[in-house]
Structures are given as structure tokens and as C-alpha cells.
Amino acid sequence: MNTSENISPENYANWFALYKLCQLAKERKYIEISSVEFGEILGLSQQTGSRRINDLEQLGWIKRKIDGKSQKISITKEGATIMLSIYRELRNLLESILIIGEVTEGIHEGGYYVSIRGYFQQFKERLGFEPYKGTLNLRLSDTDNEILREKLKNITPIIIEGFKDLNREYGPVKCYDVYISRMDDEKNKHKAAILDIQRTHHKENIIEILAKPYLRDYFNLKDGDKLIIDISKDKQSVSSLS
């Protein structure tokens, strides 16, 4: 089943009606609603409310029993499939228009950096949080990586200064403020930072994320899970427009 066939100009009014009915179905069993009430929910008249319910029934997206005064509505398997396919299509689209990183087992180099005393103190002061002594490694697609790098160019990084100790010299490190979140959970949008280490040894598009909590636990992650990386410059476009 092709999603584009399901929502097309002729019936996105119906799709919206189904969406609203599903919201009502949250409270479950079946939906008992009059055309007046449904019209109000749609922000339209009783007549249109009635028409929409008719149309949805015709489309086979809902079933109903009219019982004199009241009508009982339920979502059919077809209706649910429509919703599910739109959901899935949206998920695919979002993976294209957002920068998504895939949790991966890293080489813990970032973690090593964080632990170094001379850096750690600076991270604490300049990032605005005391970072967990380890990084979360996220693998980006080529395109996402490209876009991310381009975006980062337009952002002034937080500079962690280099220093020397008895043994060796430590170079400066750049960080970038970001927000990290799961695709399916809007409440947990966590402040974090991209740790920009110039790396020679993995060509792969892996970025390292610093945050106060241990992110794998905080977001309940396993390898392969996907996170949204949000470089919150509000008015910016998400797909790059050079």
C-alpha cells in the first residue's frame, strides 16, 4: 500500500477526520459521538461532521452502528493501516529532514579526553554542565554528516583550550551546543555538546556527544537506536540551503 495514494488532495479532509476520530478513540472501546459534536471537533458544522463520517465509512476506514439517537464508531483495520502507513512514511521523511545519529559502540577516545583533568574543568565551566566521563558515539549518514559540518561552520564553537603537563602537550578542542532527543519522546530533549576531535583514524561519520548524564541509560539506548541531533539555531532551515 502506497501512502501517497492514501492521502491525496481529494481526501486529506477525510484523513484529518480520521485523525481526529483516532484522538477520540484514545479513551476507547468505541467512539460514541454525534455529528454535531464531531463537527465541532473539526471546527465545522454538523452537516460536514455528518458528511465526513459518511465518507470515512464509505472509504472503509471506520465502521459504525447507528442506534436511533446515537452512533457508535470504531476504526477498522484499513483505517488503522492508513494511520500506520502515514506514521511510517513520516518517520522515513523525518530521517531525511532531521539530522539523525545512530548509537554505536565507540572507541572511547572522547571519553579519554573528558577525563583529563585539564580539559574536564574547562568542560564544566564552558558547557554549563559537568559532563559524564565518557561520550556517546553517533554514526551519521554521509549526507547528514555533510549537512552537520556545514551547519557547524556557521556556529561559533565553545573553545576548550589546550595545555601542557609534564608528559605531553594537549591541543585545543572545539565543542558545539546541541540538543539530543529520541524521535518518539518529546519530553526528553537533553542539552548536550558535540565534541569535535579532529580524527584521522575513523573515516566513518562518527560524532561524539557529551552530556551530564550517561546518555545510554538516560534514553535507554542500544546500538542502532536513532537520536535527533538538534543544533538549535531557531530560524535556521533544517535542510541546508547553503
Partner DNA sequence: ATTACTAAGAAGCGAGTAG
Partner DNA sequence: TCTACTCGCTTCTTAGTAA
Radius of gyration of the chain (CA): 25
Task: Please write down the HEC assignment for all residues of 130-172.
Answer: CCCCCCEEEECCHHHHHHHHHHHHCCCCEEECCEECCCCEECC
**What is the grid cell recorded at 4?**
501517497
Among a second copy, DNA, none, residue 72 binds (CB under 5-8 Å by kind): a second copy
- In the complex with DNA, the residue whose CB is nearer, 57 or 230, is 57
- Residues contacting 107, CB < 8 A, separation 6+: 137, 201, 202
What is the torsion angle, in degrees rounded to the nearest 10, for the CA atoms of residue 7, residue 225, residue 232 and residue 155? -120
Among a second copy, DNA, none, residue 54 binds (CB under 5-8 Å by kind): DNA
Residue in 238, 101, 240, 126 with CA at minimum distance from that of residue 183 = 101
Among DNA, a second copy, none, residue 39 binds (CB under 5-8 Å by kind): DNA
Taking the complex as a whole, the smallest distance from the CB of residue 63 to DNA amounts, in Å, to 13
Taking the complex as a whole, the smallest distance from the CB of residue 84 to DNA amounts, in Å, to 25
Taking the complex as a whole, the smallest distance from the CB of residue 210 to a second copy amounts, in Å, to 23
Among DNA, a second copy, none, residue 36 binds (CB under 5-8 Å by kind): DNA
- In the complex with DNA, the residue whose CB is nearer, 32 or 185, is 32
- In the complex with DNA, the residue whose CB is nearer, 43 or 224, is 43
Binding site residues, a second copy, CB under 8 A: 4, 7-10, 12-13, 15-16, 19, 22-23, 25-26, 28-31, 42-44, 62-63, 65, 72, 74-77, 79-80, 83-94, 96-98, 143, 183-186, 220, 222, 224, 228, 232-242
Among a second copy, DNA, none, residue 197 binds (CB under 5-8 Å by kind): none
**What is the grid cell recorded at 102?**
545512530
- Residues contacting 148, CB < 8 A, separation 6+: 99, 140, 207, 229, 231
